[in-house]
Structure 1
Amino acid sequence: MDVYGSLGIRPLINAVGTVTRLGGSLMPPEVLRAMAAASEQYVDLNELHIAAGRRIAELLGVEAAYVSSGAAGGLAVAAAACIAGSDPEKIRRLPEGDGLKTEFVIQRSHRTGWEQALRVGGARMVEVAPTAEALRGGIGPRTAAVMYFMAYSKADSVPLPEAVQIAHEGGVRIVVDAAAELPPMSNLTAFLKAGADLVIFSGGKGLRGPQASGLVLGRRDLIEACRLNGNPNSGIGRPMKVGKEEIAGVVAAVERFVRLDHDAERRRWEAQVDHLVEVVYGLPGVRAERVLDRTGQIPVARIASDRMESKAIAEQLRTGEPRIEVSASPDGVAVNPHMLREGDEKVIARRLREILK
């Protein structure tokens, strides 16, 4: 069944990574089977949320877990949990936060469009300079939490352990967005071990669960508050519905992830990158090398030409057959194997050779 062709659009090979605009990831058979089975029966959704959270927490060895509607939905309910807690009256008031502690202190280097999800949950952002002194000074009587985005932790930024210490000394929580920080698997617990109160992951990126799912891990009281502020309850998260199918899919994705041979995954990525570099290496004016992605966890093939700008290479890949999406920068096009299927690297290498020869 050609679902996309019937709508008049072309599917593509995703050599960018787990980005939402390209659909995040492809779900493995275990996840698809769990979602299909969940779709065949009714269930009390609150009971399912509690049971799924308990199962995920056991698998990961964390205190508690909650399945959200994507990492952005996780940010919204996490904000609500820090502001309103489990108090029904406060939950009903959000996003109006008059009289409540609504401020989320954030370093200037961590400002991002993703923080809008926090504001949906009732948060008011308080920007400070990326120094320990400024972070400490930003905490006041209306502070609910410190917000920390791991994607910007390598920028001019207070390190997470120090930010945790400052937040807790100031009597507030610290919430960590780690949406795209898998692999490595150890990150599922590393930020909590560093002292974070809540950590949010995408369910549809490295975990390869449903694209419209997320995972919130952390303190039991705050996780329960996330649930009470979320669907199917009448809180700020009511529109951010996580269906029974998505919840079952996330449980299956976590079960798969904890038993996955991550070393074998890494070897496959390395082999794909080696093939890409080997096929185009030596072409006139072409430079090809292996580098690492932003996280330092995934090998990437970076390819540049003296005769063609990177944007032009990417455009030819995008408009050709098959359609291929890559990242482009002044340094070259980057082919990320994280979401490639076996054999995709050969197709991409062939197209690159045709374009660059």
Structure 2
Amino acid sequence: MKKKIVVPSITEMLQADLAQDLLLNYPRNLVVEHFRKAADISRHQQLTEEAEPKTVSELINEAKRTIEAAYQPTLVRVINATGTVLHTNLGRARLSSKLREELVDIACNYVNVEYTLETGQRGSRYDHLEQTLTKLTGAEAALVVNNNAAAVLLSLTTLAQGKEVIVSRGELVEIGGSFRIPEIMTLGGCLLKEVGTTNKTHRFDYERAIDEDETALLLKVHRSNFSIVGFSESVSLKELKEIGQEAGLPVMYDMGSGSLLSLQQHGLPEEETVQDALAAGADIVTFSGDKLLGGPQAGVIVGKKEYIERMKRHQLTRALRVDKLTIAALEGTLRQYFDEEQAIANIPTLQMLAVSDDVLKAKAETLCRLLSQHDSLAVRLEQGTSKVGGGSMPELELPTWLVSVSPKQMSVTDFVTELRHGKTPVIARTKFDLCLFDVRTITEDELSIVADEVAAVLS
């Protein structure tokens, strides 16, 4: 005898009281789609697995779970417990919490992004940032595009398309995402002219390479994500400027990770600032907004007005322009640099780099105490090192405090996997059979969240 298959109709499911909340909170077509999937699965199970028919309520609850999973945003907040301050995969720089209300207001309302309130006429979106950047850096003019790769591309295309750009062979870098200086030059229509060797480039290498008809630009690139040590030599920016002046050529400096202040007094090594680069004579300096600056993803171009005005008029600029949220986030971050102490206290990147050992240890002790409540964990406080990340200061190891955890009833692989799948995902690092929480990149208010997520995994 043929088995009878019992599956409620979609209409019956839609009319059920239990479905009404779903219809209020989710698009009707999405609800119908998942009701059909739940019904099809039940039908298949009855045919192949001798399963019992499911009630309307059971099918709706199954559909509800899949609807909620399908409708969740893919971009979610995570807790960075790795100790890498500028973690590229986790969004690099955290923005200052002081900007939260301002950014929400900008995001949810109309704003004067290209409108001049004084005259009632159309304005430029770049005016919102230029005055602040020129004040902070001492540059004549400034322009902001969507990242530093775009800043380099726009600068090269505007200043040297169809002409030669001279650069040291030791500075032909590749950064994350396979962004390579030689290939970006080709894309910008420039002719790359390498000088020197991998480890040594001299002043005379540039001087001999200059062709007064073909050379348009001298380019220096900061080796931000690697270093050359030992038998090496390079030409300083100041020397390169002297060469450029003698030949009547502009000098461009791609800093990559631009800093606006020194953190030497907080134990970090001396790092060249944007102001230093301009003072040394660079005509154009490009750098990232989301690295050591501590702002949103952006590419900042500062330097001589005559060159930047040409970039503003270039057709490529529109394709690379920033939106209102980037403008607001970068402007809010830059404003804090007018008071150096305020910047270090309120910009998370600077705060995490400058934080004292005492503060780190106190945070680690708090987390250690919270996690030690679980008998199924072996918890220990230990010293370790953090990384700056984002291709910045690659050799620098920052002393830090770690909370190491060894789960007794599950593997460390399963433990960190479950932490990633929690309500608020926690991204930690592992070492052998240990899970390591580096408190440098965990804020005070996140310590209890980490503890809650660990408790959820253990339960």
Specify whether residues 324 and 56 from structure 1 end up closer, same or farther in structure 2 by C-alpha distance, changes over 3 A only: same
The answer as to whether partners of 2:129 and 2:331 remain within 8 angstroms in 1 is: yes
Q: TM-score, normalised by structure 2?
A: 0.56
The answer as to whether partners of 1:301 and 1:335 remain within 8 angstroms in 2 is: yes
- Find out whether 1:261 has 2:335 as its counterpart: no
- Find out whether 1:335 has 2:438 as its counterpart: yes
Equivalence for 2:327: 247
Match of residue 221, structure 2, among 127, 144, 148: 148
Q: 1:113-172: CA deviations, max 9, x gaps?
A: 333555433345555534443675264435522231241464449677x43144334425
One-letter code aligned to 1:335: D
The answer as to whether partners of 2:150 and 2:299 remain within 8 angstroms in 1 is: yes
Counterparts of 1:188 and 1:353, CA distance in 2: 46
Equivalence for 2:309: 224
Equivalence for 1:167: 240
Equivalence for 2:170: 107
Alpha-carbon distance, 1:272 to partner: 5.5
The answer as to whether partners of 1:299 and 1:337 remain within 8 angstroms in 2 is: no
Which structure has the higher relative contact order (CA within 8 Å, separation 6+)? 1
Match of residue 150, structure 2, among 49, 54, 73: 73
Total equivalences in the alignment: 333
- Find out whether 1:22 has 2:90 as its counterpart: yes
Alpha-carbon distance, 1:66 to partner: 1.4
Equivalence for 2:427: 325
Q: 1:92-132: CA deviations, max 9, x gaps?
A: xxxxx2xx224544415734333355543334555553444
One-letter code aligned to 2:285: V
One-letter code aligned to 1:198: I
Alpha-carbon distance, 1:351 to partner: 6.6
Contiguous gaps of at least 5 residues in structure 1: 85-96
Q: 1:236-271: CA deviations, max 9, x gaps?
A: 333212234433442222112333524543665655
Counterparts of 2:325 and 2:451, CA distance in 1: 37
Query: Over the residues paired in the alignment, what is the CA RMSD in angstroms?
Result: 4.6
One-letter code aligned to 1:288: E
Equivalence for 2:278: 192
Matches within 5 A, 1:305-316: 315=417
Q: 1:13-63: CA deviations, max 9, x gaps?
A: 134333443223343443516744984346257634246313321244333
Specify whether residues 287 and 193 from structure 1 end up closer, same or farther in structure 2 by C-alpha distance, changes over 3 A only: farther
The answer as to whether partners of 2:152 and 2:254 remain within 8 angstroms in 1 is: no
Which has the greater radius of gyration? Answer: 2
State which drifts further: 276-285 or 123-132.
276-285
